[in-house]
Amino acid sequence: MDIFEAVRTVRAIRHYRPDSVPVDALSRILEAARLTGSSMNAQPWHFIVVEDRATIDQLATVYEYGHYISEAPLVIAVLIERGQRFAVSDASRAIQSMVLTAWSEGIGSNFVGFFGLEAARPMVGAPESHEIFALLPFGYPLHPPSTSRKKRKPLAEIASRERFGEPYS
Ligand SMILES: Cc1cc2nc3c(=O)[nH]c(=O)nc-3n(C[C@H](O)[C@H](O)[C@H](O)COP(=O)(O)O)c2cc1C
């Protein structure tokens, strides 16, 4: 799958088959995160790979909009170092790298949370030096991913040519 095709087709996947994510695919997902560029190359992130069923079930209780995490065979908790100004941007890029890498292999994921995950700290042993930024469930989609048009603003609404408000096309 080329890059644009992955971006064009990737969807937020919230239901997963129970099959494990293969070890080599997991390695590529993590490598995609590791290789992501960050501001000043600070790499202010840490990724906790969770496959233990009991822990995943606990993580699923943490966030109001992430209970479906319990369906996933794999969750990656994304932590960011406290006090790093660009950490949110950096970690978001790493998340997108992981999600697209997984998607190119037929594995679905989604971005769960945006902080507000404090209750997950003891579940994954996160140290005080880090905040839990997001939880990423991964798994093969239970249903064929939707091929309907994505609900997105039209380009004319979100792009201009040369100056804000000048029609792009
Ligand atoms: C920063 C961020 C936080 C998100 N948080 C959640 C969340 O907590 N739970 C959830 O189910 N989806 C979450 N999403 C996924 C969005 O709902 C999803 O990307 C959007 O609805 C588009 O979905 P689609 O690509 O399938 O059309 C989040 C996405 C982002 C970028």
- Centre of ligand 1 from the C-alpha of residue 4, in Å: 19
Confidence band, pLDDT 50/70/90 cuts, at residue 145? confident
Q: What is the number of the ligand 1 atom nearest to the C-alpha of 12?
A: 26
Cα 32 to Cα 38: distance, rounded to the nearest angstrom: 13
**Residue 161: count of CB within 10 angstroms of its CB:** 10
- Centre of ligand 1 from the C-alpha of residue 75, in Å: 16
The residue nearest atom 1 of ligand 1, judged by CA position, is 114
Q: What is the pLDDT of residues 34-81, one digit of tens each?
A: 999 999 999 999 999 999 999 999 999 999 999 999 999 999 999 999
